[in-house]
Amino acid sequence: MRRNRIIILGVLAAIAGVAVPITVAWQWSQERAVAAEQQRLHLLARHALMRSERTFRDASAALRSFEPLIEMPCSEAHIQRMRRTTIRTRSVDDIGYVENGLLKCTSSGIERDVVKVSPPQFLLDNGIGVDIDLHPSVSAGKKMVGVAYLSHKVLIDPVRFADVITDDEIQLAMATSSGAVLGTLHDPDPALVKSLMEREKTGGAGSDAKTIYAVVPGDGLTAIVTEPRSKLEARLRNEQIVLLPLGLLFAALIVAGIVWVSRRRLSLLGELKLAVEQREFFVHYQPIIALDTGVCVGAEALIRWRRPDGSMIRPDLFIPVAEEDGLILPITDQLIDNVIADMRAALVADRALHIAINLCASDIETGRVLDVLEQSLAGTGIEAQQIWLEATERGFINVEAARTTIEKARARGHAVAIDDFGTGYSSLSSLQNLPLDALKIDKSFVDTIATDAATSSVTPHIIDMARTLNMLVVAEGIETQAQADYLLERKVEFGQGWLFAKALPAAEFLAFYESRRPR
């Protein structure tokens, strides 16, 4: 069944492995082409905006230089100064003096005709008035932009607001913040310009089915640049020349990887994920013995994995893989479910019995497992103090997070032990700061008891340290009576190991417990 599933998934993955990279490469090439063109249009719009703002600044500076007027209005000195300003200011085509709504004189001289000058169409924030559709006689009826301040007004050719060199396909419009268009280049669509002004009030770039555009707002002005999307073909071809071969390469690599995985059937991680989904895990129980009486007081719950074909996978092989990939969390949850199913009746019948559950470093750091336990124990009759929690030293690297979890666990009634002590990273100072109930001596230290090994002197120091910190001591891996006697002599409370019993299936453990329980 699993083999067929792997083959089917492999074929589907191969099809996707070919289709997806090529589709992504095609889509990416289009996005890159559009993004590059948007960037180009944005730079062009910014350049045009800077030139237009400079035109306005120059015109405004010219106007403000006449206020207040230091000569007699329309005197020879006044006219000469207007003439010099017109010549020196590139953006200004003419300057005139207005009084009571009539044009009195210009840089060309006294105005002999009666020329009415209407108020500006709108005012900018800096007090400058603007007319966008003037047709004065001085320009022979050509459209001009008028810029006024108090009693003076200048005329500006609209082309100065779109004074950039660019491709014929690119359209430019320079508009005021109110939407009035000052100047254009290559006749952009007025409706499109208005729509983009309303849509992109704070600026931006984008595209639709027909147009690529960039909108750049400035100080009272906004530049809008557009281009037909059809003009992207050359740039798009260049992008595709680069990206489509990459997509084909990725597709080939994916297919090769799928073939390789299929030939190897499944990696350990892949099998482990399936095992979690199919709940292939069960629990064996390592009895914990009171060394002074020989009574069984509880057990350590040890996760086991049996494949569907009956073969067993050693915990030291799959537990590290599960921890690296985050699968240890659902495995821990399944262990809790199994413990409750296996031991509920015995735990309810005998409140002195406890089961110890191993926690990963992540659960100690986050405290996630406490809520899982609380929900799982609800309504079972099992008391929290009958479930002990054990964590290796890696779980206590983040001391503050570990302290929070331990305090919550103990507040709910659980005892907490540090497992395999001496093989990890803990220090005496970190242990002093953690409210632990028990310390478990690792088997590697118990093995050195009564030997000449260099670490044989470590065990009594660990025991003394636990006594100093008021912790119970549990010795792991006891295999000889001499080891048990040595530990009992040093008043170690509990032990576990093959001297008493191997890890047992649930039914066998319950029988063992019945034979070793206090009478």
pLDDT at 263: 53
Q: What is the pLDDT along the chain (519 residues), one digit of tens a residue?
A: 344 555 555 555 556 555 666 666 666 667 777 777 788 888 888 888 888 888 888 888 889 888 888 889 999 999 999 999 999 988 899 999 999 989 999 998 998 888 888 888 887 777 888 888 888 877 777 888 899 998 999 998 888 887 777 777 888 888 887 778 888 888 888 888 888 888 887 788 877 778 888 888 888 788 888 888 777 665 556 555 555 555 566 555 665 665 665 554 456 777 888 899 999 999 999 999 999 999 999 999 999 999 888 889 899 888 988 888 889 999 999 999 999 999 999 999 999 999 999 999 899 989 999 999 999 999 999 999 999 999 887 777 788 888 999 999 999 999 999 987 766 545 556 677 889 999 999 898 898 887 766 556 788 888 988 888 899 999 999 999 999 999 999 999 999 999 999 999 999 999 999 998 876
Partners of residue 173 on adjacent β-strands: 184, 224
Enter the pTM of the model: 0.52
At 298, give phi and psi (nearest 5°). Answer: 170, -160
pLDDT at 3: 44
pLDDT at 419: 86
Radius of gyration of the chain (CA): 43
pLDDT at 242: 54
Tokens at 364, concatenated: 């100690």
Closest CA to 163 of 17, 21, 53, 36: 53
Q: Which amino acid is at 355?
A: I
Give yes or no for a contact between 219 and 168, defined as CB atoms under 8 angstroms apart: no
Q: Which amino acid is at 134?
A: L
Boundaries of every domain in the chain: 1-265, 270-516
Alpha-carbon span 374 to 382, nearest angstrom:
10
Give yes or no for a contact between 510 and 346, defined as CB atoms under 8 angstroms apart: yes
Closest CA to 175 of 117, 122, 211: 122
pLDDT at 161: 80
Q: Count Cβ neighbours within 10 Å for each residue of 131-148 and write b for 16 or more, e otherwise.
A: bbebebebeeeeebbbbb
Closest CA to 353 of 515, 492, 513, 519: 513
Give yes or no for a contact between 212 and 226, defined as CB atoms under 8 angstroms apart: yes
Closest CA to 51 of 155, 159, 200: 159
Q: Which amino acid is at 218?
A: G
pLDDT at 253: 63
Give yes or no for a contact between 106 and 95, defined as CB atoms under 8 angstroms apart: yes
For residue 240, count other CB atoms closer than 10 A to its CB: 18
Partners of residue 99 on adjacent β-strands: 102
At 404, give phi and psi (nearest 5°). Answer: -60, -45
At 300, give phi and psi (nearest 5°). Answer: -95, 125
Give yes or no for a contact between 391 and 364, defined as CB atoms under 8 angstroms apart: yes
* Cα angle 195, 52, 168; round to 5: 65
Tokens at 426, concatenated: 């803990």
pLDDT at 453: 64
pLDDT at 1: 38
pLDDT at 178: 76
Closest CA to 10 of 228, 260, 187: 260
Tokens at 162, concatenated: 């779109």
Beta-strand runs (E) in 36-125 = 94-99, 102-106, 109-110, 122-123
Say yes or no: domain 270-516 is CATH 3.20.20.450: yes
